[in-house]
Structure formats: C-alpha cells, structure tokens
Amino acid sequence: MIVGAMKRKIGFLVSILVLIVLVVGGVKLFSGGGSKEGVLKVASNPTASVFLDNKHVGRTPVETKVALGDYTIRLVPETTTQTLASWQGSIKITPDILTYVNANLAESEFTTSVETMWLEKISSKLAEVAVRTNPDGAMASIDGETKGITPISIPNITAGDHALAIISSGFLPRNIKIKTTAGYKLNAIVKLALSGETPEVASPSPTPNGEAITPTGKTTPTPTTKPTSSADPTKPFVTIKDTPTGFLRVRMEPSTSASEAARVNPGEKYRVESEKTGWYQIKYDAKNLGWISGQYATKTE
C-alpha cells in the first residue's frame, strides 16, 4: 500500500510538471515567442565609430544583433589625416532581418553619401525594390533598365543579384549591388553626395494648386515663403542654415523617408514646438506643424 501511495504521489507530481511545461509553452507561443532581435551591419569609408542612440556599438565594419525598434545611428570618422564630417540618420530593426548601412564619409554632410537597406515581408512570390533618395527626384534603374523617378516602388523583380543605379543632376551617381529575395521587398534609402558642380536647372512652372512641375514632370510643393520680421520668435527657436538645394524640406514625421509637407528658406526663424533626436518640430505656417532636420538648423535657447 505504501508503494502504491508513493506511485500515486509521483504520478501526480509528474502530471503537475507536465501541466506547467504546457502552460509555459502556451504562454510563449501566444505571446509571440519569436526573435526579439535583428541584425545590423555597418560599413564605411574610412573607418568610423558606430553609435546607436548615443551608445557605442563598435567600429566599422561591424555586424551585431540589436533589439527591435527605431534607432538614431551616428557614424563618427576615426581618421587623423583629414577632417571629415560625422553622419547621423534613422534606422528600424525588425525581427531576424539584416539592416545594412554603407557610408562614404566626406568633408561635409553635403558631400557624404550613404545607403541604408533592409528587407520587408510581402505577399508576392517575387521580389520588390523600393527606393527613396535624399534629395528626391533621382532617376533609378535596375540592371541598366530605367524604372522611374524616386521615390519609387518597383514590383515583380526576380530574386538574385542586381545592379541598382541612381542618377541625379548635380549629385554623384550611385551604383549599388543588391540581392533580392522572393517574397520580400528590399527597401533602399540613398543619400546622394553633391558633385561639386552647379547644374543648370529650369525654373519650375507654377500650377493652379500651388505646386510646381519640375523638368521631369514630377510635382513638388512650392517653397514656403515666411514674411520677414525684425523680432525673433519666442525661445527656443531655430534659424535655418544654408543648404545645397537653397531650401530645407519640412517633413510630416521626423524621418528623411517621411513625406514632404513644405519647404523653408535659409535665414528664416521658427519657434521649436517639440524635439526628437536630430529633429525639430516647427509651425511652418499659421496652423501646420512639421519636422526639420537638426543638421540644417541652429537652435537658440
């Protein structure tokens, strides 16, 4: 009888243990027990220190696992033979996906070029390539075939190795080797570097809705003209710096991939409504808010 009682107790304990294992496994399954990390790979010329949200993660070339989320990435050149500008941008880390950043660092922000690429799952059995450039309006081609003006999404691309070319007047061309994967969209954000030459560009023609038609036929918002005033805005405020385009884009969100809401001009001053790393939110007209890059604005406290 004692042996039988012991067997019953052991059987009961085993049952409890199995139940606990099943419950824990179920919780992990239904709580999304998938990967909580992605992979970040960064290359640069010359070698640079890599910072994510001001935390040092290594020197290029670097490849490391990173927790999921949105980050501000900054590259600081480590050369001692010349003075080069740092670069700062935004990236998004997604589960089990490689995010790749490749930068050619130069003497200034205007002459630095950077490519940021990552994959995104789609329903198509083929691949897709989405290209954004800074500035917009560049010509994109794949394997020598012109696809259109950026920003552009190019569907039905065969999986494998391809050559992506970006050309824009006044900027250095970019030729990028890409590898597409079936069932995924390859997102590419390309920051172009000024060529040092000043191109002759026809003046945009205004349209009835206040937009302008560029020589490529693409409509772009007419730059915002702010009335001049001798009085500064309430502090804190920002003063727009000179830019290679002669204006600064106001974005709907604090990201270079966000839609353009308006344009402001060098020398204009705007009160700071809010801040995010590397970005200022301003009221660019009487009622509308937008975001500008902190790289092209000087803040006055």
Q: pLDDT per residue over 59-83, tens digit each? A: 999 999 999 989 999 999 987 777 8
- Identify the band that residue 22 occupies on the pLDDT scale cut at 50, 70 and 90: very low
The answer to whether the CB of 229 falls within 8 A of the CB of 290 is no
As a whole number of angstroms, the distance between CA 51 and CA 64 comes to: 12
**Burial class for 127, CB neighbours closer than 10 Å (0-12, 13-18, 19+):** buried
The Cα diameter of the chain in Å comes to: 101
Q: Say which amino acid occupies 113.
A: S
On whether the pTM is more than 0.75, the answer is: no
Average model confidence (pLDDT) across the chain? 80
Mean pLDDT check: name the lowest of 7-16, 100-109, 228-237. Answer: 7-16
More confident residue, 184 or 1: 184
Q: Give tens-digit pLDDT for 214-259.
A: 333 344 454 554 544 558 888 999 999 987 777 888 988 888 777 7
Sequence-ordered list of residues with C-beta below 8 angstroms from that of 281, at least 6 positions apart, any chain: 254, 272, 273, 274, 275, 289, 290, 291
Residue 143, CA atoms < 13 Å, CB-side half-sphere: 10
Go through the domains of the chain in sequence order and give each one's CATH number. 37-191 (no CATH), 220-300 (2.30.30.40)
